[in-house]
Structure formats: structure tokens, C-alpha cells
Amino acid sequence: MSLYSLVKGRRGESGFGYASTAEEVTNGLDLKGKTILITGVNSGLGQESARVLSMRGARIVAAARSREKAAEACRGFSGDSIPVACELSDPASVRACVATVKELGIPLDVLLCNAGIMALPNRELCHGQEMQFFTNHVGHFILVTGLLDQLSDTARVVILSSGAHTMAPSAGIQFDDLTFNTGYKPWVAYGQSKLANLLFARSLARRFAGTGRTANAVHPGVIATNLGRHMGLVARIVSPIASAVAMKNVHEGAATQCYVASHPSLAGVSGEYFADCNVAKSSRHSQDAAMGDRLWKVTEEIVAKL
Ligand SMILES: NC(=O)c1ccc[n+]([C@@H]2O[C@H](COP(=O)([O-])OP(=O)(O)OC[C@H]3O[C@@H](n4cnc5c(N)ncnc54)[C@H](OP(=O)(O)O)[C@@H]3O)[C@@H](O)[C@H]2O)c1
């Protein structure tokens, strides 16, 4: 038996593990009456999460860069779904999404911040900010803070981070050069954006303390999805081989976020980082509440100028 198959078969305290699938972790759950907003529903983990949570009875508010993409994705979900446009790099689009969801007047039981981009080869700016930081963190910050009043009393905010949050700059969030004006490195910038996702989840959890609402962050594993589109040619050639041998498939990849979004055993569990459907260790910086508070304030200042 290979080391890999040993890892695959291992299960944690939750009873689930590396090889659990989104269908397995939601098996037997009745999510009828629940409304779940998911960003990035047209691809990869977001699409699989929406498919499975819809299959379990949840109504999906399906967000993609355009309403057309969202509507196309909705055709693959078995239950009730509402397509909405949410281009995270465009504050006007995110704010319009917030307005649309508020107009629906339906309380949200889960807000699954899933969409993201990874390892842009060259430094790109978006509204004066580094593109991955803006898309992965600032866009979701506008969405979540805009929808706080729309959350149900026991709502769960689930934010996709990544094991790559450990690749952030050695100081953590690089407040003195947030945009990598000097020394841009694709994985460090992605790492900073994913550390921001994790710090944001924990900051939200602190704000939710004493309520029934929760906020948690997720590392889904390593899965060959469209996320790798910016990687070099060699990586794209190697990826399908690596995927067959050692990566999770998309059904396994969507398991942790579906588990955190819906499993009854996690009612009231907040401020945690999950991997392989279990609470996991995260970096020292990700546990730094002062860094999280500063990030919140800096993000508010960025958003106020948009
Ligand atoms: N796959 C992995 O190995 C892995 C590992 C760790 C963490 N993650 C995280 O998991 C999440 C989902 O990734 P995935 O693997 O499912 O990737 P994916 O297949 O590329 O899906 C990403 C989704 O995000 C959307 N998106 C990208 N930029 C956007 C923007 N500006 N506005 C709105 N939506 C945007 C994409 O829309 P388009 O298709 O229209 O571009 C797509 O729907 C990401 O947050 C990622 O960081 C993934």
C-alpha cells in the first residue's frame, strides 16, 4: 500500500477525511428551506458544491461573473436556483449583487465565498490593488459586509482560503507594500490573498461571537481545476498526471466546504480553519487577531475610496 493511499483512507475526528466527497459529507441531510449563496458556481469546486447542496434541497443563489454564466450553471443543478451576476473585481457589480440579493428578501443561511484566481504570472493592479488580493479578498469583503443584514440568525459564512496562505510574505499581510510594488512573486501574492481570506473569516467570527452566526475558513485540498489556468505550460502538462496520481478529484475537493456549510455537527463552531473535513492547523499569522483587525480597517479604507 502506498503512502498516498494510506493518507487517502485516513479519517479524522469528524468521521470524514481526505477522500470524503461532497455527496458523502451531506448524505442524509435535508437542506429544504435553506438558502445558500455561492460565488464562482460555473466552475470547479463552486459548481460541484452548488450541485450537491442543491441535490440536498437547498435553494442556491448562484453567483458568477455574469448572469449568463450563472444561468448556464444553474441548468446543471437539480433544485431551485437563482442566477446572479457578481464580478468580484468590479465593485459596482458586487454592490449590484448585494442589492439584488436584498431585493429577493430571502434570508441567507450560508454565504459560501468560493470564487478565486491564483498565481497571476505578472503583477496586475485592479482599482489600485494587487489583482488577487482584490478579487479573492476585497470583492468578497464588499459582498459579505454588504449582506450582513441579510444573514439568518444561524447563518454560516464559509470562506475559501488555501494551504497556500502559508506562502504569504514572511511578515504576513504586507501592509507597507500591499500591492507588491517591489518584488512581485505570483505565489507570494496568491498566499497573501489567501491569508487575507483566513484573517477575514476569523475577524468575522469575532464579530459574530455571542450570536448564532458563524464564520470559518477552508482549505479544499489540491485539485486540478481551471484555477491553474495561469500556471506555466509545464505545470499544465504535468497537472493531469499529478491529478490522476495524487490530487483530489472535484467531488473530494468540494467536500470540506460543503461539510462546513451544512453539517449539523458544526452548529456554533466558528473561527476555525478546516482541511480534509476536519479542523486543521493554520499559520501563526492567520491567528494574529491584531493583523486581522488591521486588515479589516485597511480593507474598509480601500472600499470607501471605490
Ligand atoms: N483547486 C485547488 O487546488 C485549490 C486549492 C486551494 C484553494 N482553492 C480555492 O478554491 C476556490 C475555488 O477554486 P477552483 O479550484 O474551483 O477554481 P476554478 O475552477 O478556477 O473556479 C474559480 C471560480 O471563481 C470564479 N472567478 C474568478 N475570478 C472571478 C471574479 N473576478 N469575479 C467573480 N468570479 C470569479 C471563476 O469564474 P470564471 O470561470 O468565469 O473565471 C470560477 O467560477 C478558490 O478560492 C481557490 O483559491 C483551490
> What pTM was computed for the model?
0.95
- For the chain, residues with pLDDT lower than 70 are 1-6, 231-246
Domains of the chain, residue spans: 3-304
Nearest CA to ligand 1 atom 8: 162
Active-site residue identified among 4, 18, 184, 259? 184
Distance of CA 210 from the midpoint of ligand 1 (Å):
32
* Ligand 1 pocket mutation, candidates 42, 45, 190, 200, criterion most atoms within 8 A of CB: 45
Work out the number of other CB atoms within 10 angstroms of the CB of residue 295: 22
Ligand 1 atom closest to the Cα of residue 69 is 40
Bridge partners, 82 (sequence order): 61
Ligand 1 atom closest to the Cα of residue 160 is 45
Ligand 1 atom closest to the Cα of residue 45 is 16
Work out the number of other CB atoms within 10 angstroms of the CB of residue 32: 11
Contact (Cβ atoms closer than 8 angstroms) between residue 272 and residue 169: no
Ligand 1, CB cutoff 6 Å, lining residues: 39-40, 42-46, 64-65, 69, 86-89, 114-118, 135, 160, 162, 219-220, 222-223, 225-227
Nearest CA to ligand 1 atom 39: 43
Predicted confidence (pLDDT) per residue in 161-201, tens digit:
999 999 999 999 999 999 999 999 999 999 999 999 999 99
pLDDT at site 10: 86
Q: Please state, in angstroms and rounded to a whole number, the distance separating the CA atoms of residues 280 and 116.
A: 21
Alpha carbon separation from 285 to 86, 191, 193 (Å, rounded): 30, 12, 13
Chain CA centroid to CA 76, Å: 21
Contact (Cβ atoms closer than 8 angstroms) between residue 212 and residue 153: yes
Q: Amino acid identity, residue 58?
A: A
pLDDT at site 6: 66
C-beta contacts of 121-126 below 8 A and 24+ residues apart: 121/186, 121/230, 121/232, 122/184, 123/179, 123/180, 123/184, 123/189, 125/179, 126/89
Nearest CA to ligand 1 atom 4: 222
pLDDT at site 99: 98
- Closest by CA position to 178, among listed 237, 213, 133: 133
Q: What does DSSP assign to residue 106? A: P
Q: Please state, in angstroms and rounded to a whole number, the distance separating the CA atoms of residues 63 and 46.
A: 9
Helix (H, G, I), strand (E, B) or coil at 140: helix
| Farthest CA pair distance, the chain | 56
Contact (Cβ atoms closer than 8 angstroms) between residue 148 and residue 215: no
Ligand 1 atom closest to the Cα of residue 66 is 40
184 is catalytic: yes
Nearest CA to ligand 1 atom 17: 227
Instruction: Pick 3-304's CATH classification: 3.40.50.10140, 3.40.50.720, 3.40.50.300, 3.20.20.70.
Output: 3.40.50.720
Distance of CA 227 from the midpoint of ligand 1 (Å):
5
- Closest by CA position to 257, among listed 41, 30, 32, 65: 41
Q: β-strand 81-85 against 59-64: which pairing, if any?
A: parallel
Q: Kindly give, in sequence order, each residue whose CB lies less than 8 Å from that of residue 246, ignoring residues fewer than 6 positions away.
A: 4, 222
Query: Whose grid coordinates read 477552508?
Result: 218
Predicted confidence (pLDDT) per residue in 201-246, tens digit:
999 999 999 999 999 999 999 998 988 877 665 565 555 555 555 6
Q: Please state, in angstroms and rounded to a whole number, the distance separating the CA atoms of residues 33 and 93.
A: 27
Distance of CA 2 from the midpoint of ligand 1 (Å):
31
Cell triple for 216: 470559518
